[in-house]
């Protein structure tokens, strides 16, 4: 080998050695200082964020003619329901690697017949449902605990607006994707997205398929589960929402232990304290929740809560509106004793309420009036009335082809007046309806209202 060839080989070796050495180091700026990067944190976290694919069989809506038995027999059409297979994609987070528990949104696995979980390393597992809580949109599924990685959890109560966050999920089925942003707001509620709302708002891009994915801080700790976006135009506009991990953890524990969330009830109807009401009550604050009704025999009555009390604090946490109170109560376990502070006649009073399991209070409508036969009725309390804006009697169920059904009453309706007189309880409805004669009911259905005549 001649001298020039030896020098050339030496130069190539030095070049490759330097290139390999520099590849192992983080990128540097012009002054040789390492550039900031999230890569090391993501390398620890992303193995715990999974893709979820579901399959379900959906019955195809038939042409009305095909519902006619004579038509089907005449054309020899088999009387077999037609179905099609529906597929959906979402995300999830391994919350317990040792036992194979994965957290996701309830809507991601809703009505799924098959659930497949794919890890970042390409492994795919079949999952079973442990428990679902539609009210909070949280679900727990289980996969085989084979070399899984979980994400450490932070205390979401310590989050601040402006904290940097990273969202990880499976948008549009593209595969694992990472976006970043900040905490835009905390305690978002009243959006009508879920029954229990205490959202973290972020401008990190969250798109369809991100649901159930992880929202983490810069330390790689889980602070929330991505669940929804506000998208008036159908695309991402920088307003996304995540369920705080403290709420998720409580719900997860209940789902694993019982398969459902066992929520107690106080037995009260609520109304937000407005400046006008505060002035009428002679209060110097307009933040709190007014007790507008106390149900007879409820734990609230036993504890001494009264109509007109203004709840301003529960378990040391200030209460500003009824949605916030509902969120706090939704995280309490049956048997918990809750210290509640109320304003009564302008003075602060402490009341201790023991949370108890809800008792069934459905009443057969036929016992109230013959024309209401087939309907199950119940009083509205702080849980069936989300924000204290509706007063009346809730129609819990209506059986088809019964007098109540034929008159147009439907499940979810709220009876607010009978024979043009307002009603707020089953007791009032029974007193005003009588046992015979026609009934004129005013009902609220969704955002609308209408009259129904029972003859």
Residue with tokens 């378990």: 315
Decide: 311 and 285 in contact? Cβ < 8 Å: no
C-alpha–C-alpha distance, residues 189 and 200, integer Å: 10
Q: CB-based contacts of 382: which residues, under 8 Å, 6+ apart?
A: 265, 266, 267, 268, 269, 270, 322, 325, 326, 329, 388
Question: Counting Cβ atoms within 10 Å, is residue 399 exposed (0-12), middle (13-18) or buried (19+)?
Answer: middle
Q: CB-based contacts of 193: which residues, under 8 Å, 6+ apart?
A: 137, 199, 227, 228, 241
Residue with tokens 């409508």: 365
Residue 211: active-site member:
yes
Whole-angstrom CA distances from 15 to 6, 9, 19, 166, 455 are 14, 10, 6, 37, 95
Q: CB-based contacts of 421: which residues, under 8 Å, 6+ apart?
A: 432
Sign of the CA dihedral 413, 416, 418, 423? positive
Whole-angstrom CA distances from 394 to 147, 382, 431 are 49, 12, 17
Strands 439-445 and 448-454: antiparallel
Strands 101-104 and 83-96: antiparallel
Residue 250: active-site member:
no
Q: Which of 137, 203, 309, 413 is catalytic?
A: 137
Residue 107: active-site member:
yes
Q: Which of 156, 205, 211, 416 is catalytic?
A: 211
Q: Which of 107, 133, 136, 298 is catalytic?
A: 107
The residues assigned a catalytic role are 107, 137, 211
């Amino acid at each position: 080998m001649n001298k020039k060839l030896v020098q050339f080989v030496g130069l190539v070796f030095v070049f490759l050695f330097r290139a390999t050495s520099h590849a192992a180091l983080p990128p540097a700026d012009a002054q040789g200082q390492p550039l900031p990067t999230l890569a090391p944190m993501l390398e620890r976290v992303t193995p715990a964020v999974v893709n979820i694919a579901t399959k379900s069989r959906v019955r195809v809506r038939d042409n009305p003619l095909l519902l006619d038995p004579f038509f089907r027999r005449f054309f020899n059409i088999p009387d077999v329901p037609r179905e099609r297979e529906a597929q959906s994609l979402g995300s999830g987070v391994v919350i317990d690697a040792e036992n194979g528990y994965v957290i996701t949104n309830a809507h991601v696995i809703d009505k799924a017949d098959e659930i497949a979980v794919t890890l970042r390393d390409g492994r795919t597992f079949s999952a079973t449902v442990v428990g679902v809580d539609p009210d909070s949109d949280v679900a727990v599924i289980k996969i085989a605990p084979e070399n899984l990685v979980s994400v450490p959890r932070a205390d979401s109560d310590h989050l601040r607006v402006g904290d940097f966050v990273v969202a990880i999920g499976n948008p549009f089925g593209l595969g694992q994707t990472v976006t970043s942003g900040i905490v835009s707001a905390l305690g978002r509620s009243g959006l009508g997205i879920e029954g229990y709302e205490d959202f973290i708002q972020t401008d990190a891009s969250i798109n369809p398929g991100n649901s159930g994915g992880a929202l983490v801080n810069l330390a790689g700790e889980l602070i929330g589960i991505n669940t929804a976006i506000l998208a008036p135009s159908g695309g991402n506009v920088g307003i996304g929402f995540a369920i705080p991990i403290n709420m998720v953890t409580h719900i997860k524990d209940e789902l694993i232990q019982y398969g459902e969330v066992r929520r107690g009830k106080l037995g009260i109807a609520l109304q937000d304290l407005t400046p006008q009401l505060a002035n009428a009550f002679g209060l110097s604050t307009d933040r709190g929740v007014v007790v507008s009704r106390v149900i007879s025999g409820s734990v609230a009555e036993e504890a001494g809560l009264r109509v007109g009390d203004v709840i301003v604090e529960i378990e040391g946490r200030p209460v500003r509106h009824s949605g916030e109170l509902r969120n706090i109560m939704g995280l309490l376990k049956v048997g918990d004793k809750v210290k509640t502070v109320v304003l009564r006649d302008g003075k602060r009073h402490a009341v201790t309420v023991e949370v108890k399991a809800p008792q069934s209070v459905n009443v057969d409508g036929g016992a109230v009036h013959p024309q209401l036969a087939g309907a199950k009725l119940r009083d509205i309390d702080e849980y069936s009335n989300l924000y204290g804006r509706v007063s009346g009697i809730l129609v819990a169920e209506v059986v088809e082809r019964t007098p109540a059904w034929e008159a147009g009453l439907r499940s979810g309706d709220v009876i607010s007046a009978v024979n043009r007189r307002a009603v707020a309880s089953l007791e009032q409805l029974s007193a005003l309806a009588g046992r015979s004669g026609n009934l004129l009911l005013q009902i609220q259905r969704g955002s609308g209202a209408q009259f129904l005549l029972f003859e």
